[in-house]
């Protein structure tokens, strides 16, 4: 099939492109990008794309699959459908399924199932560092590393033993795969559910000090310096963390870092609603944390924005705030909300947002970013930043609806992806 997208806004951070152009796509490849394309074949589908955005496909660093083991929350099909509806062409799932993704056979099973679904985002898998995520015994790391589809290693949860972390870094160094850690000191965070500060006192919720994250990051950075193993730091949420990462990068440590999309939009003031979809891990930061995270993304200290899509059933989330599991859905909501709150307000340029959602996540995963240039495979998404729609269960592909935006009208929706 041949398609001509006329006068679309083309956004490609890798080429530093933000311009209006015509784009011709045929046989799964980009054929021409030009100010105006006049000569086309009679069977070409022509689409007037004035006001629309054509961007490189979005790439998610880490999200929760729920299948196998928790299909009532999300199936692999609904996950990929939701990701496609949000403009994602690559999705990387965490190993916290049941059974955990700690064996090549489980990876192969998930990959095969995804392939059978056809025109869906590319599925990549994080292999578990430890058997059943128990944090006690290493998986067969070399065997998993050789498995197609494994992008790297993580347990996706805080460590319990720094000696074990050092051992993991030493084992993984020769394998050349990304390794990701969520730095959080469980002794300092204890049973907390909200960032320490005046809001936590006012709302009567157990607090988590910023030091629960920053001390863990400082320890991890020391181990990276000692071993030289590249590391990705997940779920950065505090202003001090941004400072630590900036200093480590300036010193030449081989690290990348990501924050999640909701931590760029909301702060602790939002929790006054006691909406359990605002119970996140890590918790929402204070206003100063949000500003530091935004600056960190714009400046490249924070390399990427992750979705960390975490579906839960209605029954799991309908309980007291402090008793509810942490996490919220995000695939279908992230781009519209980030665009309207950051790009439309002038806080980010479109290129800065796309850099953090598309180009840099691919680089963090040691993958080649997609590009909008002739001869390249068409890995793209088409976004209407003005399209109004209501966030309702019937309007979402995901099986869960744990989001604070449920019932609200949003502006901006993805119309199509090319994979």
240 and 325 belong to one structural domain: yes
Q: Is residue 197 part of a domain?
A: yes
Per-residue model confidence as pLDDT tens digits over 174-184: 998 999 999 99
Per-residue model confidence as pLDDT tens digits over 189-227: 999 999 999 999 999 999 999 999 999 999 999 999 999
Instruction: Return mean pLDDT, the chain.
Output: 96
46 and 72 belong to one structural domain: no
Residue among 100, 52, 90, 67 at smallest CA distance from 331:
90
Residue recorded with tokens 């157990």: 206
Taking the C-alpha atoms of residue 87 and residue 73, their distance in angstroms, rounded to an integer, is 21
Residue among 136, 119, 181, 183 at smallest CA distance from 155:
181
77 and 110 belong to one structural domain: yes
**Residue 135 in this model has a pLDDT that exceeds 90:** no
> Which run of H or of E encompasses 338?
helix 334-338
Q: If DSSP codes are grouped into helix, strand and coil, which group holds residue 292?
A: helix
Residue recorded with tokens 């000692």: 226
> What is the sign of the dihedral through the CA atoms of 265, 271, 274 and 276?
positive
Overall pTM > 0.95: yes
Q: Is residue 369 part of a domain?
A: no
65 and 46 belong to one structural domain: no
In this prediction, residue 283 carries a pLDDT of 98
Residue 328's domain is classified under what CATH number?
A: 3.20.20.140
15 and 93 belong to one structural domain: no
Span 67-88, average pLDDT: 97
Q: Is residue 332 part of a domain?
A: yes
Q: Is residue 201 part of a domain?
A: yes
In this prediction, residue 219 carries a pLDDT of 98
Render the burial of 191-205: b for 16+ CB within 10 Å, e for the rest: ebbbbbbebbeebeb
Q: Is residue 370 part of a domain?
A: no
Kindly write down the DSSP assignment for every residue of 30-98, as one continuous string.
EEEEES------TTPEEEE-TT-EEEEPEEEEEE---TTT-TTT--HHHHHHHHHHTTEEEEEE-S-SS
Taking the C-alpha atoms of residue 300 and residue 303, their distance in angstroms, rounded to an integer, is 5
**Residue 136 in this model has a pLDDT that exceeds 90:** no
Q: Residue 71: CB partners within 8 Å, gap ≥ 6?
A: none
In this prediction, residue 148 carries a pLDDT of 76
Per-residue model confidence as pLDDT tens digits over 366-397: 999 999 999 999 999 999 999 999 999 999 99
Q: Residue 272: CB partners within 8 Å, gap ≥ 6?
A: 199, 202, 203
Strand runs labelled E in 136-241: 150-153, 180-181, 194-195, 207-208, 231-233
70 and 98 belong to one structural domain: yes
The answer to whether the CB of 215 falls within 8 A of the CB of 184 is no
**Residue 149 in this model has a pLDDT that exceeds 90:** no
Q: If DSSP codes are grouped into helix, strand and coil, which group holds residue 356?
A: helix
Residue recorded with tokens 């006012």: 202
Q: If DSSP codes are grouped into helix, strand and coil, which group holds residue 172?
A: helix
Q: Residue 134: CB partners within 8 Å, gap ≥ 6?
A: none
132 and 42 belong to one structural domain: no
Span 311-324, average pLDDT: 96
Span 313-331, average pLDDT: 97
Q: Is residue 371 part of a domain?
A: no
Span 149-163, average pLDDT: 92
Q: How many domains does the chain have?
A: 2
Q: Is residue 401 part of a domain?
A: no
49 and 139 belong to one structural domain: no
In this prediction, residue 241 carries a pLDDT of 98
**Residue 411 in this model has a pLDDT that exceeds 80:** yes
311 and 414 belong to one structural domain: no
Q: Is residue 402 part of a domain?
A: no
Q: Is the peptide bond before 100 cis (omega within 30 degrees of 0)?
A: no
In this prediction, residue 260 carries a pLDDT of 98
Q: How confident is the model at residue 160 (pLDDT cuts 50, 70, 90)?
A: confident
128 and 21 belong to one structural domain: no
47 and 61 belong to one structural domain: no
Span 2-26, average pLDDT: 97
Structural domain of 12: 2-53+376-392+407-418
245 and 270 belong to one structural domain: yes
Residue among 118, 140, 120 at smallest CA distance from 129:
140
Span 15-34, average pLDDT: 97
The token pair at 93 is 């799932």
Q: How confident is the model at residue 147 (pLDDT cuts 50, 70, 90)?
A: confident
Residue 29's domain is classified under what CATH number?
A: 2.30.40.10
102 classed as catalytic: no
In this prediction, residue 146 carries a pLDDT of 86
In this prediction, residue 74 carries a pLDDT of 97
Query: Out of 267, 289, 308, 384, which one is annotated catalytic?
Result: 308
């Amino acid at each position: 099939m041949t398609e001509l997208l006329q006068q679309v806004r083309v956004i490609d951070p890798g080429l530093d492109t933000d311009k209006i152009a015509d784009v011709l796509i045929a046989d799964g490849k980009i054929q021409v990008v030009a100010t105006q394309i006049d000569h086309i074949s009679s069977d070409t589908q022509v689409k007037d794309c004035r006001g629309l955005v054509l961007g490189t496909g979005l790439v998610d660093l880490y999200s929760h699959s729920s299948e196998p083991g928790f299909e009532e929350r999300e199936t692999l099909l609904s996950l990929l459908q939701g990701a496609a509806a949000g403009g994602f062409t690559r999705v990387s799932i965490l190993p916290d399924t049941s059974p955990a993704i700690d064996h090549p056979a489980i990876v192969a099973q998930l990959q095969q199932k995804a392939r059978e679904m056809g025109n869906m985002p590319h599925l990549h898998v994080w292999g578990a560092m430890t058997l059943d995520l128990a944090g006690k015994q290493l998986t067969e790391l070399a065997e998993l590393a050789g498995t197609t589809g494994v992008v790297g290693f993580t347990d996706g949860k805080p460590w319990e033993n720094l000696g074990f972390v050092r051992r993991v870094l030493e084992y993984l160094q020769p394998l050349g795969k990304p390794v990701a850690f969520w730095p959080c000191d469980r002794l300092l965070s204890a049973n907390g559910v909200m960032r320490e500060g005046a809001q936590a006192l006012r709302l009567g919720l157990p607090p988590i000090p910023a030091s629960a994250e920053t001390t863990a990051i400082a320890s991890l950075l020391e181990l990276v310096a000692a071993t030289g193993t590249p590391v990705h730091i997940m779920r950065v949420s505090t202003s001090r963390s941004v400072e630590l990462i900036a200093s480590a990068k300036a010193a030449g440590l081989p690290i990348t870092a990501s924050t999640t999309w909701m931590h760029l939009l909301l702060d602790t003031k939002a929790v006054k609603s006691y909406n359990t979809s605002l119970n996140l891990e890590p918790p929402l930061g204070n206003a100063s944390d949000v500003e530091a995270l935004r600056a960190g993304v714009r400046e490249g200290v924070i390399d990427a924005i992750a979705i960390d899509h975490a579906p839960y059933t209605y029954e799991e989330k309908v309980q007291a705030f402090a008793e509810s599991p942490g996490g919220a859905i995000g695939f279908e909501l992230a781009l519209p909300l980030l665009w309207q709150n950051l790009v439309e307000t002038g806080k980010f340029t479109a290129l800065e947002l796309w850099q953090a959602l598309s180009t840099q996540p691919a680089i963090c995963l040691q993958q080649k970013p997609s590009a909008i240039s002739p001869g390249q495979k068409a890995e793209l998404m088409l976004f209407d930043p003005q399209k109004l729609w209501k966030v309702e269960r019937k309007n979402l592909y995901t099986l869960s609806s744990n989001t604070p935006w449920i019932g609200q009208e949003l502006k901006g929706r993805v119309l199509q992806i090319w994979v």
